[in-house]
Structure 1
């Protein structure tokens, strides 16, 4: 979403309407990766606490995510470079931050993703979390290690389809209150809803993998500004789909929990409580279908991080080797990853880091110090992304016609403020 860069003279096949619709995909990948089971649980709890009142926050969140992902994709296509090459041009502080981030965050996230994927499987078939979590991690490793981007995208699209059908279908089954939904489009803040509102706007669908969007559009074959319209269409379709998905979960929370005054645990384990409620109200078939959707949501996030963040680590290594340019502009134009990046040593080394060391935490639980580091680093990433995109796309590092205009600047500035507030809130909760 931006007010710049429209080129009505572009006549490439990439911009033909039928062709555009047939090749959307990277946006679905980044949106699905960003929405995990924890986000579903948070949305469900928001619905159970405030009904439909915060539906407007879901819509605002879609706008924020569209603006951030569009800016990431615009940087890659306009400059022919990568977001990490841009970050490195801003100074060595970005390198220090990223190294600490991917090491600690990746270690804890690996355990979190495997646990989240294991929960619905253990509920359906019995067994322990390690007994299901380890195979999930190994399956993710194999799919990303041996599969091409095209295969990865097809798997992610299929998982999104399952997620969407299950959750939206569930929202239809519980018979939403349409007048109350329409009232929820008005921006109202009930007492005690500030944290939930910020979470819905900024948290759902917003993770480090938003920065991976540019790498996925490059892997798709979109490598210059002639693909700008296609990228924007792809981005909007993906996040509107995500918005419908999240709104549907809010409906489920409002209808099943808010009206019955039922409270859930505020974590992905709370989704297992919903499974029991669905079984009591609609029977085992609907409850099992929900668990299938729960697994699709969790495993799609696992796959997306395994693939996307590993690409970012690969680019980190590549740009470090090439960091000999004399000016920030030259460094920002360091080029894109080669098509065989997924076969490189850094890529596969980080895949192994995400998969095997975190398995220890499946047996030991997550140590408190790591939880603190994980929460703190995670809170800092989204404001970092918004601020650096404002900086990069507002400078001469980007071609003039693709720099931020007033609309892009306003949306990115709003996102930066929002995520800074969320960051402070997360740090207070973590250390308090």
Structure 2
């Protein structure tokens, strides 16, 4: 565990230099598909769904703060909290992390390969994706959190600069932007609104926050304040990033009635629009930012979810929580990184089997409701010291978040099944 930057228990004011795990989890959660969903929302509805971006950030702040609060208040990992609720959590999590990791590995490598193949077309998407996956493996293999955090910060900087540059080029209409803060749902846009809110930095890596907090060296209740500051700043940055994405959709696409593709292909379409409108340099900078967004998600999962797997497997093996095999320096951690990188090369090259896509969609859609509901159960029980349990405000927000994700899960499952049958 990296404790070099941990504050002392006597420290009363957290230093800005300590902020880090929140930036990692927030950046990791914003993938290419999420950006395209926000772009399309801006292109279809202008600034009308800006308020949903703000609500989305608040929902993630609540969930990530809950995961961090549980870890600091109890000294246990989030998986230990899930396991305390009964065997049903393991029955869900075990197949989820295995199947999800395999299919996500292929999707993440394809996502990183897409912009690189456009920037450097002498290799195909698949080749660049495999190179990015192997690079991610090399960057996180040692399990050194300090180095990993610096890599993520650099990638966040690239993606933030690229999207903010694109937003600035469009010269946003600030008065009209402000009107988007008034909650309203355009006709026929309920699920789009929920998807925009739910897609602001939300994946399995939200649950990995507690592991990154521990690796940062924050391990006791005395670190609660700096954890909350870290989480708040992280989602402020994420919110600004997603708002910049919505601005691009509203100003560049909505005003000119330009449509882009769904999925990460839509970001390539946007790069072409920027190049046509503002020159080759603008398109190139944006594609670099696109790659950074995809790569930050890949690297974050390669590290964070691998730690979750190591902790899960160590629990199953009844190893003590502080055992090396339950952390980023054990064989389980490295084994899961290999699982994310090597076997997914096959579906990346050959196409994903039908049954894996279906299982991935089902399990993936249910993870965020699973996280929200289990946090509600854990943080309202005697598993957590009384002063760190949920208060009324936290319960209302967390319950609302669980409801939103349940509705999204049902809709996503319907779309997934209807699209494959």
Aligned ranges for residues 155-304 of structure 1 at < 5 Å?
A: 155-304=151-300
Aligned ranges for residues 43-54 of structure 1 at < 5 Å?
A: 43-54=38-49
With structure 2 as the length reference, what TM-score do the two structures score? 0.95
- SS of corresponding position for 1:74: helix
CA separation of 1:322 and 1:340: change in aligned 2, threshold 3 A: closer
CA separation of 1:392 and 1:375: change in aligned 2, threshold 3 A: same
CA separation of 1:232 and 1:33: change in aligned 2, threshold 3 A: same
- SS of corresponding position for 2:100: helix
- SS of corresponding position for 2:380: coil
Following superposition, the deviation at residue 182 of structure 1 comes to: 0.7
**Which residue is equivalent to 1:331?**
none
Aligned ranges for residues 1-400 of structure 1 at < 5 Å?
A: 12-17=9-14, 19=15, 21-126=16-121, 127-146=123-142, 148-322=144-318, 335=321, 341-400=327-386
Following superposition, the deviation at residue 405 of structure 1 comes to: 0.6
With structure 1 as the length reference, what TM-score do the two structures score? 0.93
* Separation (CA, whole Å) in 1 of partners of 2:86 and 2:326: 28
- SS of corresponding position for 1:265: coil
* Separation (CA, whole Å) in 2 of partners of 1:136 and 1:223: 33
CA separation of 1:319 and 1:339: change in aligned 2, threshold 3 A: closer
- SS of corresponding position for 2:207: helix
* Separation (CA, whole Å) in 2 of partners of 1:26 and 1:244: 18
- SS of corresponding position for 1:90: coil
**Which residue is equivalent to 2:4?**
none
* Separation (CA, whole Å) in 2 of partners of 1:140 and 1:15: 37
Unmatched segments (≥5 aa) in structure 2: 1-6
Tell me, yes or no, if structure 1 residue 413 matches structure 2 residue 393: no
CA separation of 1:223 and 1:337: change in aligned 2, threshold 3 A: farther
- SS of corresponding position for 1:65: helix
* Separation (CA, whole Å) in 2 of partners of 1:241 and 1:319: 35
Tell me, yes or no, if structure 1 residue 402 matches structure 2 residue 388: yes
Following superposition, the deviation at residue 202 of structure 1 comes to: 1.0
